[in-house]
Amino acid sequence: MPGTACLAARGDQNSGHPSRLSDHLSGFVDLVAGAVESCADVPPTNERTSVKGETTERLDWLIDGLVKRVPQVSKAVVQSADGILMGASAGLEREDANYLSALAAGLQSLAQGARTQFGAGEVHQTIIEMRDAFLFVTAAGEGASLTVLSDADVDPAQISYEMAVLVRQVGEHISSHPR
């Protein structure tokens, strides 16, 4: 798997574990970037993902509606649990959309791991607060998530609400079948 060697190369030679958190995170970013690169030229098919009763263009249109309706939202994607892009907002380059999809799938996977380890129930939303932005990842149908990147000066509750409205509109029509 691309990037795995980066984790080993940056690790403590004696323990086999990363010697610093930043080294570990850098390896994770390499791993995600490798996964995105290996999937960038693979077109979505009905075998990988499907949008029940809707076309991908329709999903893109609904995602665009969220971005237009909420001025602080700059980018949005819907992705499968394994990071395959299912839909993206206008103006988002394919490479960036694929990267955001893979990143969000990784975050959801980590959140699912925490849920499993601590018996905390279903994961509804993951939020990352950065200096200049928020990243929101919300469950959206079976095996899919909605990811939104917003400005830092937003009300996170408002963004969460807007995402929930969109998920209610399309969530039951979105599915990503396990491979």
Tell whether the model's pLDDT for residue 66 goes beyond 70. yes
How far the first Cα of the chain sits from its last, in Å, is: 17
pTM listed for this prediction? 0.68
Q: What is the DSSP letter of 39?
A: H
Q: pLDDT tens for residues 153-171?
A: 999 999 999 999 999 987 6
β-pairing, 73-80 with 125-129? unpaired
Give the model's pLDDT for residue 65: 93
Specify the higher pLDDT residue, 40 or 108.
108
- In the chain, the domains with their CATH numbers are 4-39 (no CATH), 50-175 (3.30.450.30)
Q: pLDDT tens for residues 76-113?
A: 999 999 999 999 999 999 999 999 999 999 999 999 99
The H or E element spanning position 23 is helix 21-39
Q: What is the DSSP letter of 97?
A: H
- Nearest-5° Cα angle at 173, 155 to 140: 35
Of all residues in the chain, what percent are helix, strand and coil, respectively (each to 5)? 45, 20, 30
**Of the ranges 32-36, 133-137, 160-164, which one carries the lowest mean pLDDT score?**
32-36
Give the model's pLDDT for residue 134: 98
Encoded amino acid at 146, one letter: L
- The residues with which 175 forms a beta bridge, in sequence order, are 50, 142
Confidence bin at 173 (pLDDT 50/70/90) = low
